[in-house]
Amino acid sequence: MNHLPSAPTLCDLAAAFGYTVEGAADAAETVITGVAGLDEAGPTELTFLSNPRYAAKARTTRAAAIIVSQGVATEGLPCPVVRAPDAYLAFARIAGWFYRPPLPPPGIHPTAVIAPSARLGVGVSVGPYVVVGENVVLGDRVRLFAHTVIYDGARIGDACQLHAHVVIREQVELGCRVIVHNHVTIGCDGFGYAKRPDGSWEKIPQAGRVIIEDDVEIGAGTQIDRPSVGETRIRRGAKLDNLVQIGHAVEVGEDTLLCAQVGIAGSATIGSRVILAGQVGVAGHLTIGDGVTALAQSGIPNDVPAGRQIAGYPAVDRRQWLRVSAAQARLPELLKQVQNLEARLKALELAALEKDTSRKG
């Protein structure tokens, strides 16, 4: 939103993003200096309300205005509201205008090592101690932060950002506008070994490729393996959190979210718009359909049809898992009841036996 003034008013912001302001007319001319949470926002900052559980906090906020979704009641709120189709998305967009991460200017640092055969696009920034290998192609406006290493033959598309200590291995291909955070390795060897007759292991050469499509973001410490043959592919718009492990020959679909510490074993196929919450584990050689959601710490050993919500290990339908979890909390009580019933039954059997013995006597 480059047409916004440097000190936008509430009306300026709402109009620029296609939202409407409801509330006091004079407040709509308040200059907005930033965004913050409901508790922290001050009289020149925007906040948002997307979860009804925080409605009480919204009634005591000091913010200049609150972003709310269509249809949300605003009675009792202490300030004007910005009405948007989706409050959370609106907050993200406005926050993105206020916060723009610092980017290094174009140029090549004198400590960088760039192979003669590498091809660099327009406006590239190469930071301190970066190493760029033979036949590497860097698109326009690529930014390589300090200590990044690009192996031979890799291709990096336009407007990519690779933060400090990223390693891009040989023949890896990144699309445009890919963001790779610190200490990520893309294209490391997949985990493949064949057992020799004596029980030792023969390494299987990992000669395949890794392809990262446009608009993917990869969190810090994530590792993406290359396969022995074929490719590992992360499709357009996928977002990977920190410390995610992607095995060899995995395919991750468009706009899929993989949260922290997700692990996907080799040759698994993950559909589009899938959400795997924190610490989900996926076995190899299976398929997870489009639109699946797996709750945190789920273990997925088998194929999952599209659109399912799953949880637990082995992962089952979310509603079934919730019932099992509720029953599990009652297990000590149920065990005690069973023990009491067994004791009563044993007492009844003993009494019947004594009665029978007495009658025979």
Of 3, 109, 248, 285, catalytic: 248
In degrees and rounded to multiples of 5, residue 95 shows phi and psi of -60, -35
**60-82 CB burial, b ≥16 within 10 A, e <16:** ebebbbbbbbeebeeeebebbbb
For 156-192, the DSSP string reads: E-TT-EE-TT-EE-TT-EE-SS-EE-TT-EEEEEP--
Buried (b) or exposed (e) across 219-236, using 16+ Cβ within 10 A? bbbbbbbbbbeebbbbbe
Is 248 catalytic? The answer is yes
Helix (H) or strand (E) holding 57: helix 55-58
Would you please indicate which residues are annotated as catalytic (active-site) residues? 248
